[in-house]
Amino acid sequence: MRTTRVSRRCGGAGEGEYACAASARWGASVRSGSSGARRSRSSRARGRASRAVGPACDRRRHRVPTVTEVFAPDEGGGGGGGSIAAAEGAEMWPLVVLLLLSSACCGSAQLTFNPVKSIEYTTCNETVVIPCFVTNVEADSLREMYLKWKFGKDWIFIYDGDRDFSNHSRGYSSANIVKFALLKGIASLRMNKKDAVPGNYTCEVTELSREGETYIELKYREVSWFSTNENILIIIFPMLAVLLFWGQFGIVTLKYSSSVPKEKSIFLFVAGIVLTAFVIIGAILLVPGEYSAKKASGLGLIVVPTVILILLQYSMFMISPAVGLSSFSIAILVIQLLGFVLSVVGLSLCVSACSPVHGPLLISGLGVVALAELLGLVYMKFNASDQRTIQPPRKAVEEPLNAFKESKGMMNDE
């Protein structure tokens, strides 16, 4: 009868099958009243209960019986039965303590992490931070903490809180952590961009007897310095301005060849060749891609030599008899100078930033310079055409006058 109650009590409470068997055996031994049988059955119960240590750790299926349930005296028995149960309970105390400790250990042996699958960095990042966040740190002192970072299977950084000592492997001289942040669960690794290598990193954290690890993939993402459209406009506007200069040079050499000294023509030609070379070399260096010193040099070769265009346009106006320094030509030079200032300011802002946000300012300055060259070409072409249409009437008047003078001279001779 007592065995039936013990089994029913186990089934109702939902204990593990091994622990319940131990309790049933123990109840049966109490009922038998035989000392030898009690010892035999108690030994078998302890053997079965010791095997229950493993299943007791799985909290989803089994539950370790409480001390009250195991050692409660049978309600239906007399004083003799209770004494026997108390004696058996004294023998079972070490086993119960072992069960309780094992269940507590199984429930809190692992550190948990806030998972971060991957992290990206670009050429604009001076420092790379690989995150590692522990969510259940309970340590009160760094002496209880131990941290190891690995790249692949090789360690790259170790921090031993017990000795307050950190070490890094060769090639990761800049690797470091904020050690006091470990108590808050922050074990992120910091390093310079030059030491960062794309790949899989492992963060291993140990807190006394608890430990855990997480994996983070470090990726490198290439970011273009300028967008594709910005690159095209930065190259097109200076080249267009150079082509317009050569158009002005052709008008001067063809329309005003008799009035333009040969030395000035050679000077303009050489200056135009140098300007063209600067722009072409700069365009070659400024290929689409991420920021680099080579691309910054190419941008400088495109922008800075545009000041030569201002000097050349001024020379074109001065050596052209029909143009000169009129109010319109002065306005063109002022507009071109304004465009040059805008482009230089945009250049300084873009070179100092890895990811430029002032690209439109630079492009607008180059566009204004090209517009001024276009206005200068149209103005020179208009004045050259106007001078050509005015010259024939002068000749038509001068020829009859000369013929009249010649006839008058012949009459005087007679």
- Whether the pLDDT of residue 66 is over 80: the answer is no
Q: 137-144: long-range contacts at Cβ-Cβ below 8 A with a sequence spacing of 24 or more?
A: 137/111, 137/182, 137/183, 137/184, 137/185, 137/205, 137/207, 138/207, 139/182, 139/183, 139/207, 139/208, 140/183, 141/183, 142/179, 142/180, 142/182, 142/183, 144/207, 144/208
- Whether the pLDDT of residue 338 is over 80: the answer is yes
How far is the C-alpha of 94 from the C-alpha of 186, rounded, in Å? 40
Question: Is the distance from CB of 144 to CB of 207 less than 8 angstroms?
Answer: yes
**For the residues 336-340, what does the mean pLDDT come to?**
95
- Whether the pLDDT of residue 26 is over 70: the answer is no
How far is the C-alpha of 177 from the C-alpha of 217, rounded, in Å? 18
Q: What contacts 300, CB < 8 A, 6 or more positions away? A: 282, 347, 351
Ranges 64-68, 100-104, 205-209, 255-259: which has the least confidence? 64-68
- Residue 381's H or E segment, with its range, is helix 359-413
**pLDDT grade, residue 18 (50/70/90)?**
very low
- Whether the pLDDT of residue 257 is over 50: the answer is yes
**For the residues 52-59, what does the mean pLDDT come to?**
38
CA 355-285-277 angle, to 5 degrees, is 135
How far is the C-alpha of 119 from the C-alpha of 252, rounded, in Å? 61
pLDDT, mean over the chain: 75
Per-residue pLDDT tens for 265-302? Answer: 888 899 999 999 999 999 999 888 888 888 899 999 99
Ranges 46-60, 278-292, 303-317, 399-413: which has the least confidence? 46-60
- Whether the pLDDT of residue 118 is over 90: the answer is yes
The amino acid that residue 120 corresponds to is E
Q: What is the pLDDT of residue 255?
A: 79
Q: Which domains occur in the chain, in start order? A: 2-107 (no CATH), 118-220 (2.60.40.10), 228-406 (no CATH)
Per-residue pLDDT tens for 196-233? Answer: 999 999 999 999 889 999 999 999 988 888 888 999 99
If we measure between CA atoms, which residue out of 291, 309, 290 comes closest to residue 366? 309
Q: What is the pLDDT of residue 265?
A: 86
3-state secondary structure at position 192: strand
Q: What is the pLDDT of residue 158?
A: 95
Neighbours of 350 (CB within 10 A): 24
Per-residue pLDDT tens for 359-368? Answer: 899 999 999 9
Question: Is the distance from CB of 33 to CB of 2 less than 8 angstroms?
Answer: no
**For the residues 262-266, what does the mean pLDDT come to?**
86
Q: What is the pLDDT of residue 5?
A: 36
- Residue 146's H or E segment, with its range, is strand 145-151
3-state secondary structure at position 10: helix
- Whether the pLDDT of residue 15 is over 60: the answer is no
Question: Is the distance from CB of 335 to CB of 371 less than 8 angstroms?
Answer: yes
Q: Are strands 210-220 and 118-121 parallel, antiparallel or unpaired?
A: parallel
Question: Is the distance from CB of 218 to CB of 119 less than 8 angstroms?
Answer: yes
If we measure between CA atoms, which residue out of 206, 210, 218 comes closest to residue 172? 218
> What residues pair up with 158 in beta bridges, in sequence order?
148, 167
Question: Is the distance from CB of 66 to CB of 29 less than 8 angstroms?
Answer: no
Q: What is the pLDDT of residue 301?
A: 93
More confident residue, 130 or 251: 130
How far is the C-alpha of 49 from the C-alpha of 54, rounded, in Å? 10
| Alpha-carbon distances of 117 from 112, 158, 196, 218, 236, rounded to whole Å | 15, 22, 17, 9, 43
303's tokens: 């922008």
Classify residue 307 as exposed, middle or buried by CB count within 10 Å of its CB (0-12, 13-18, 19+). middle
The amino acid that residue 292 corresponds to is S
DSSP class of residue 288 equals: S
- What's the gap between Cα 227 and its chain centre? 17
Q: What is the pLDDT of residue 252?
A: 84
Question: Is the distance from CB of 355 to CB of 125 less than 8 angstroms?
Answer: no
pTM of this structure: 0.59
Classify residue 323 as exposed, middle or buried by CB count within 10 Å of its CB (0-12, 13-18, 19+). buried
**For the residues 3-24, what does the mean pLDDT come to?**
39
Q: Are strands 165-168 and 154-160 parallel, antiparallel or unpaired?
A: antiparallel
**For the residues 155-175, what does the mean pLDDT come to?**
92
**For the residues 378-384, what does the mean pLDDT come to?**
82
- Whether the pLDDT of residue 38 is over 80: the answer is no
Q: What is the pLDDT of residue 69?
A: 47
How far is the C-alpha of 261 from the C-alpha of 253, rounded, in Å? 10
**For the residues 130-157, what does the mean pLDDT come to?**
93
Q: What is the pLDDT of residue 270?
A: 93
DSSP class of residue 330 equals: H
